[in-house]
Amino acid sequence: MKVVLRTPDREERELKGPLRVAELLKRLDVVPEGVIVARDGELLTLDDEVGDQDTVEVISAVSGGRR
């Protein structure tokens, strides 16, 4: 699956699916509390599953600074 990270700069990754969102964030080393995960504009929860054909967006919610 294609993962588009907006944290906040855009970056793309490829990951093998199917995966639960919680596992996907773990593999990306992203803290779930700081992001929203979406698929085609639909917001996902940590127990949702994403597949190989999906494009998943990981959008940072943390403002006030950049690493």
Answer for which of 2, 18, 51, 62 binds another protein (CB under 8 A) is 62
By CB under 8 A, residue 12 contacts another protein: no
Q: How far is the CB of 9 from another protein (least distance, A)?
A: 8
Strands 2-6 and 55-60: parallel
- Residues 53 and 2: their CA atoms lie apart, in Å, by 8
Site for another protein in 26-55 (CB under 8 A): 31-36, 38, 41-48
- Residues 2 and 28: their CA atoms lie apart, in Å, by 13
Helix (H) or strand (E) holding 22: helix 21-27
Contact footprint for another protein (CB under 8 A): 6, 8-9, 31-36, 38, 41-48, 59, 61-67
